[in-house]
């Protein structure tokens, strides 16, 4: 009999040893006195000891904060407890081993790493918190339509309780009459993003359902977001005003920053997105010492941009010298740029002359209309750029200079290079940093502030108080301004001086502008194609109104004024209806 018991005990120990070896958890067997009798390799590794060293150790010597386990061992009861060791979460489970009449043989202590589970719980908790902060209702299902999660806004909007709907299929919820239709079911049916109007209890909401696909292309989740139209309309005016003010203040901030940095040089208006990009590029370029080529039509403000760069550069305290290469004859241009030695040519000053290049030392040299520079001088200019040295006319001594060169042109230099009228090597030396200023017709958002700027300027200059009517504004906005800002400035001064009345009306404008087609044709009609739902009809009318008004005004600010809405609203609506904004 004893042999049988011995064999049975041996078999049990063998089975227990195999079980410990294959377990993914850390397992310790302890006797009734709390002494470890058996331990698996994972537990030994966790405790940082060898298996044979652990046998015979007391459990409280191996694991801190283990008093509750010791009490459970003595009380012959189960226990489950979470502990943290080296920032890692573990779950301790103790089960006593009782034989016969409550005979205490010890117990099994299992330790499981639950850090991943804890992180998942934290992630889910964080996700719930994020979803609950959203003012939009969020409804998430699996690929079969089973409800997985709703947020607090969904509860407020629909009255649905999380504990009730989680686990239910959307089909059953629709069948109960809580929804009249479901974006989730439409998504599962079409396998694409869907937007619908949905009746939920006593509310109407706009719902957008979005499918999420797994690697096999099957729908894994459907995320539906809903917004109460009533609440949206209530906040609409306030939101629009905030956005309008934000855009307005941003534009004002950019203009104030530009005016401050240019210190009143020129009229640098940057209300349009195109000019704000020019300003941002010019600001970045100003911090470097690279050669710049400013391009653009006549009158767009190339010199203003050039001075802006100089005044914001490290050379701002040194000279800014300008020369117009098209305004000076070739024989004088060389001496103006490079200077000359005494007696260099007939009529030369006895003491010679210092050229603009030398005067610009440590500063900036602005070469306007660089495309008009003669080829012979282009070679000498190339030497200045490459070697930072030059010779005066009639001189034999090389003069070193430290200058930054900014050139400007309204001509197609690439075409001039092909025609051999401009040196290719000089073009590449000048075109290190190209800045292109768009014409006024491509940045109509700048016209209104420019008109206001010039109107103030010439009212002060001529001691008048002229204003421009809305109708006159409309004509001025439709004009293409081939002479750009220079033409606009001259026209405003002309209108201020010769208009007899204080209010400038369309009849006071030049004939070539006044004879433009009336920009505000009030005979245009907005129609709806057949009998459609009210939301579809409203959207169609809105679309036609915004597109028609913008087609007439060609400017988002005037369009906003015409329709009685904010300018940011016009921008968003035009983007919605896929109208390119010039």
CATH number, domain containing residue 56: 3.30.450.20
Last residue of one domain, picked from the residues 113, 139, 163: 113
Range of the domain at 179: 124-233
**Together in a domain, 490 and 462:** yes
**Together in a domain, 79 and 131:** no
d(CA 413, CA 430): 11
pLDDT at residue 519, rounded to an integer:
47
* 36, part of any domain: yes
Tens digit of pLDDT per residue, the chain (582 long)? 444 444 655 665 666 666 766 677 888 888 878 788 888 888 888 877 887 777 788 877 777 666 676 676 666 677 788 878 777 888 878 888 776 666 667 788 888 888 777 777 777 777 777 777 777 888 899 999 999 888 888 887 777 888 888 889 988 888 877 776 788 898 998 999 988 877 666 667 788 899 999 888 899 899 988 877 766 655 666 777 777 777 767 666 666 665 565 455 556 787 788 888 898 899 999 999 999 999 999 999 999 999 999 999 999 999 999 999 999 998 889 999 999 988 777 777 778 899 999 999 999 999 999 999 999 999 999 999 999 999 998 888 999 999 999 999 999 999 999 999 999 999 999 999 999 999 999 988 888 889 988 999 999 999 999 999 888 888 888 888 999 999 999 999 999 999 999 999 989 998 888 766 554 454 455 555 655 666 676 777 788 888 888 877 767 777 877 777 777 788 888 878 765 554
Last residue of one domain, picked from the residues 233, 255, 287: 233
Structure tokens at 6: 């011995």
* 168, part of any domain: yes
SS3 assignment, position 443: coil
Structure tokens at 35: 């002494």
Last residue of one domain, picked from the residues 94, 113, 132: 113
Return the residue matching tokens 């290469």.
325
Nearest CA-CA partner of 265 in 294, 302, 317? 302
**Together in a domain, 332 and 395:** yes
Q: CA triplet 504, 507, 508: central angle to 5 degrees?
A: 45
- Cβ of 438: how many Cβ atoms within 10 Å? 17
Nearest CA-CA partner of 54 in 64, 65, 39? 39
Cα 158 to its chain centre, rounded Å, is 34
**Together in a domain, 304 and 338:** yes
Q: Domain holding 557: CATH number? A: 1.10.10.60
Structure tokens at 4: 């049988």
* 312, part of any domain: yes
**Together in a domain, 79 and 99:** yes
pTM of the predicted structure, to 2 decimals: 0.50
For 245-297, give the secondary structure using H, E and C: HHHHHHHHHHHHHHHHHHCCCCCCCCCCHHHHHHHHHHHHHHCCCCCEEEECC
**Together in a domain, 292 and 224:** no
**Together in a domain, 68 and 165:** no
Query: Is 362 within 8 Å of 402 (Cβ atoms)?
Result: yes
* 558, part of any domain: yes
* 119, part of any domain: no
**Together in a domain, 506 and 539:** no
**Together in a domain, 270 and 402:** yes
SS3 assignment, position 100: coil
Looking at the structure of the chain, the number of domains it has is 5
**Together in a domain, 405 and 463:** no
**Together in a domain, 17 and 83:** yes
SS3 assignment, position 411: coil
**Together in a domain, 358 and 472:** no
Query: Is 295 within 8 Å of 409 (Cβ atoms)?
Result: yes
> Using the 8-state DSSP alphabet, how is residue 101 labeled?
T
pLDDT at residue 570, rounded to an integer:
83
């Amino acid at each position: 009999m004893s042999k049988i018991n011995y064999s049975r005990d041996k078999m049990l120990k063998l089975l227990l040893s195999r079980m410990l070896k294959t377990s993914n958890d850390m397992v310790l067997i302890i006797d009734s006195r709390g002494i470890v009798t058996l331990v698996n390799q994972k537990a030994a590794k966790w405790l940082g000891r060898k298996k044979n060293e652990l046998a015979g150790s007391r459990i409280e010597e191996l694991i801190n904060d283990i008093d509750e386990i010791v009490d459970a061992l003595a009380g012959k009861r189960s226990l489950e407890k979470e502990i943290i060791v080296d920032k890692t979460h573990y779950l301790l489970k103790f089960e006593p081993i009782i034989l016969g009449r409550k005979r205490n043989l010890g117990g099994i202590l299992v330790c499981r790493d639950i850090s991943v589970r804890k992180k998942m719980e934290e992630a889910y908790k964080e996700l719930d918190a994020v979803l609950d902060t959203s003012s939009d209702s969020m409804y998430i299902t699996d690929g079969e339509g089973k409800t997985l999660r709703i947020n607090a806004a969904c509860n407020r909007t629909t009255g649905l309780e999380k504990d009730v709907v989680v686990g239910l299929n959307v089909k059953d919820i629709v069948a109960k009459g809580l929804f009249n239709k479901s974006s989730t079911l439409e998504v599962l049916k079409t396998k694409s993003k869907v937007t619908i109007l949905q009746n939920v209890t006593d509310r109407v909401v706009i719902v957008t359902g979005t499918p999420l696909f797994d690697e096999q292309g099957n729908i894994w989740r459907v995320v539906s977001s809903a917004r109460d139209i009533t609440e949206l309309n209530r906040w609409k005016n306030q939101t629009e005003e905030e956005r309008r003010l934000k855009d307005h203040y941003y534009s004002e901030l950019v203009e104030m920053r530009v005016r401050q940095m240019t210190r009143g040089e020129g009229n640098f208006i940057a209300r349009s997105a195109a000019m704000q990009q020019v300003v941002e590029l010019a600001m970045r370029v100003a911090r470097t010492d690279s050669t710049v080529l400013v391009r653009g039509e006549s009158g767009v403000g190339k010199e203003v941009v050039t001075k802006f760069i100089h005044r914001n550069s490290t050379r701002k305290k040194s000279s800014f010298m300008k020369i117009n290469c098209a305004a000076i004859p070739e024989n004088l241009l060389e001496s103006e740029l490079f200077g000359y030695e005494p007696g260099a040519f007939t009529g030369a000053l006895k003491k010679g002359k210092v050229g603009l290049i030398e005067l610009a030392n440590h500063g900036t040299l602005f070469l306007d209309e660089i495309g008009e520079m003669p080829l012979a001088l282009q070679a000498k200019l190339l030497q200045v750029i490459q070697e930072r040295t030059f010779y005066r006319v009639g001189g034999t001594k090389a003069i070193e200079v430290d200058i930054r060169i900014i050139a400007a042109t309204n001509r197609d230099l690439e075409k001039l290079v092909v025609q051999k009228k401009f040196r290719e090597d000089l073009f590449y030396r000048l075109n290190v940093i190209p800045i292109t200023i768009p014409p006024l017709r491509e940045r109509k958002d700048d016209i209104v502030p420019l008109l206001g700027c010039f109107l103030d300027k010439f009212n002060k200059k001529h001691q008048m108080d002229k204003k421009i009517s809305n109708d006159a504004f409309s004509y001025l906005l439709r004009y293409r301004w081939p002479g750009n800002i220079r033409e606009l400035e001259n026209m405003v001064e002309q209108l201020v001086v010769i208009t007899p009345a204080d209010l400038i009306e369309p009849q006071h404008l030049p004939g070539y502008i006044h004879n433009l087609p009336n920009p505000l044709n009030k005979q245009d009609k907005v129609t709806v194609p057949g009998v459609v739902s009210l939301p579809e009809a409203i959207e169609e009318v809105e679309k036609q109104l915004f597109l028609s008004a913008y087609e007439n005004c060609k400017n988002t600010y005037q369009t906003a004024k015409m329709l009685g809405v904010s300018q940011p609203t016009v921008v968003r609506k035009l983007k919605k209806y896929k109208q390119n904004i010039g």
